[in-house]
Chain A
Amino acid sequence: MISSTCLKEKMDTAKIDRIIDKHQGEASALIQVLLEIQSENNWLPKEVLAQVSEKLQVPLSQIQHIATFYKAFSLVPKGRHQVHICMGTACHVRGAARVLDKVQNLTGIKPGETDLELKFSLETVNCLGCCALGPVIEIDGKTHGKISPAKTSDVIASYD
């Protein structure tokens, strides 16, 4: 398990202040602030949430409510490669569940988890809007369409 302190170096307090200032420090901008921190840092460490709470004058409990309510936020570190498996209806009827099974077998992790080497983080998503290409998996923003369980092995193996 990686402690949150060593990753915090990347996300210094000045940078967080800048993000908050950009949104003029309004309490209503909380979600936008957290989204930006999430996309810069890939996850939301506890210390960062405390800083946001203090700066925006929003109770930490409310920030935690939001950070756990919305799916875009992660309170644990993420792997180097983000694997998103589309479980939208169009992909579902074209066999997405079997693709998910295969990816779980290959990576040893379930949706929402990150492996111990911090290589892959696996998430299921509800629709990527590429229904013509279903079933679809997206790794680090690249779309792999018309994927079958058999093809999945090659795709996963191509990431290190």
Chain B
Amino acid sequence: MPRINSPVELEAFRQEIVSKRDPNKPCITLCSGTACHATGSKEVALAIEQELENQGLTNKVGFRRTGCHGFCEKGPIVVIDPEEICYLQVTPEDVPEIISSTIKEHQVIDRLVYADPTTGEKTAHEPDIPFYKHQQRMVFGANRRIAPQSIEDYLANDGGKALIKALFELTPDQVITEVKDAGLRGRGGAGFPSGVKWEFARKSPGEPKYVVVNCDEGDPGAYMDRSLMEGNPFGVLEGLVIGAYAIGSHEGYFYVRQEYPLALENLSIAIERAEEHGLLGKDILGSGFDFDVKVHRGAGAFVCGEETALLKSLEGKAGEPRPRPPYPAVKGLWDKPTNINNVETWANVPLIINKGAQAFASIGTEGSKGTKIFSLVGKINNTGLVEVPMGISLRDVIFEIGGGIPNGKKFKAVQTGGPSGGCIPEELLDLKVGFDELTKAGSMMGSGGMIIMDEDTCMVDVARYFINFLTDESCGKCVPCREGLRQMHKILTRITEGKGKASDIATLESLAETAVEASLCALGSTAANPFLSTFRYFKDEYTAHIEDKRCPALACKQLISYYIDPAKCTGCGLCLKNCPDEAIDGGKQKIHIIDQEKCTNCGTCFDVCPAKFSSVIKISGEPVPAPIPEDKRTIVRKKKSK
């Protein structure tokens, strides 16, 4: 492919691609994101290729492997266009039938379509599935239509239009004004207005200037940046080039988390393709604007998601944050003006340029514009990535889109904002999702992880878990974070083990206050949030642990005992067979008993006891009943009357 040297040539090339594509030609789209990959999408892909060949359809049916569609719970996902028939949890064995019935005969295969978990109602048409229906997929939607390594797919889906508009119709200042007017705020956590940040960098004296994509997505339970990077690297790249033009930068960096090999691969290929086509490099599309990018792999340090730490790491040093100001816009990479935004922020830029600031700003709340991608994970029926307009209620996200809590359990809290975010209780479910709204509730937007917790989740344990995470990831440079978190972790662990003291809460509060006030960077200053927010909304759980030595959620290992209910035990022997510590006594027709001395609380018996019996129960805060006398242990089965 020769270089494209002008917008006219690009449009001609786009037309050529589109004209060769028949919109009515059947096309099989297979999600090949990381989660679908783990559930076997590679094997499904091989089966599809093989079957198309067997049936002589290779040239008559399109086949596209795309990035993540978002409905990770039900992967691997296959969508058949143009009808948009969506098949879930597809296996290689399903493939021949899909091709012979759906592709050839236009028959829908009932067993592969979405079924409502409560009503059983089936939905075959992708946009009608509740999980997708209530979303607004402006940024993430392209994933489904684009093979991530294909620039042709990208261009056929209007890729590059924003770039042309920015480079040829707008001045750098006009681009900045558009982004400012759109009200775009950073999607990485802090929510700082992106246009304002760009303007700082543009006006800062010093050359060269740098632009950086932060793809060091470290929050556990958040993977929207990875999915954008894997699924639509061209979109992120286009946003970056537009930003570079606006700021006056000719050199950019992608900082990609080392744990994301597929994102790295797809990004590297996208950069190569864009360079070949003249969308990157010298004199982009004949505009006279030069811009090059390099990819830098992270090496596994959560704190590198913090911008000053990330820049240190880019320079080849240990990623330790430094105090701000000076902000990176003034003194960034190699002390030059630098603008850092996260992946999702950059991916929003082409959208704003294409549709205009007003259209973008018409979505959302007063302080938060546009959409946001959330990863809905934990105790939720429809685990996956969802893109919703700002201002939607948490209840709608969790129950309408997420399908509620599995196994009929009760919702307890949603944790947002990553490890240093907070837990939001049931009474605030009608809260509107937005930067300021979440902060007011004691949590934060963060990068968009939403971890759903049910009645079996212990909130003290959750606080301990996050503080442990942050202790581990603290870079160690400042004392309030390094030592304060260590002490908080020690105390919280003690509480979950039933060794908590009445004075512990006051100590935790004072350590938290110090960390908030005196830490060097955002990691430390927000690190106490997991404790503060769980304590604010779930104080009674702390009291139960400390005063009654009881874990209300029956989750803290040291505070529970396992007990076999003699009235329910049928003597099936499964627990006896599986107990790793030989702590169970039993036999044929005999009620089983757990020897509390030997039991290590591993919970295996609880897991293996069949649900229809549910005879193994957890007890906390009260003594375990004495084992039933030997002579009453024989199970007498009622004979069936003939």
Contact = CB atoms under 8 A, between A and B. Distances in A.
B389 interface: no
B220 A127 contact: yes
Given A69-B318, A132-B75, A93 B378 contact: yes
Contacts, number: 139
A71 interface: yes
B299 A70 contact: yes
Contacts of B451: 89-90, 93
Contacts of A26: 316
B457 A93 contact: yes
Contact of A131 (B72, B258, B259, B475): B72
Nearest to B258: A72
A35 B297 CA distance: 8
A78 interface: no
A90 B222 CA distance: 9
A125 B259 contact: yes
Interface stretch (A4-12, A13-21, A98-106): A98-106
Interface in A65-106: 65-66, 69-73, 87-90, 92-94, 97-98, 101-102, 105
B259 A132 contact: no
Contact of B383 (A127, A132, A148): A132
B3 interface: no
Nearest to B384: A132
Contact of A150 (B38, B299, B607): B607
B223 interface: yes
B578 A150 contact: yes
Interface residues of A, number: 45
A65 B476 CA distance: 12
8 contacts: A27-B316, A35-B258, A35-B297, A35-B299, A129-B259, A132-B377, A133-B72, A145-B38
A151 to B, nearest CB: 9
B537 interface: no
B220 A88 contact: yes
A148 B72 contact: no
Interface residues of B, number: 57
Contact of B580 (A94, A105, A125, A130): A105
Given A130-B35, A145-B38, A150-B578, A71 B300 contact: yes
Nearest to B304: A70
B332 to A, nearest CB: 14
A12 to B, nearest CB: 23
B245 interface: no
Contact of B318 (A66, A143, A145): A66
Given A28-B315, A31-B299, 11 more contacts: A29-B316, A70-B299, A71-B300, A72-B299, A73-B300, A89-B377, A90-B451, A129-B260, A132-B383, A134-B377, A150-B608
A136 B580 CA distance: 21
B435 interface: no
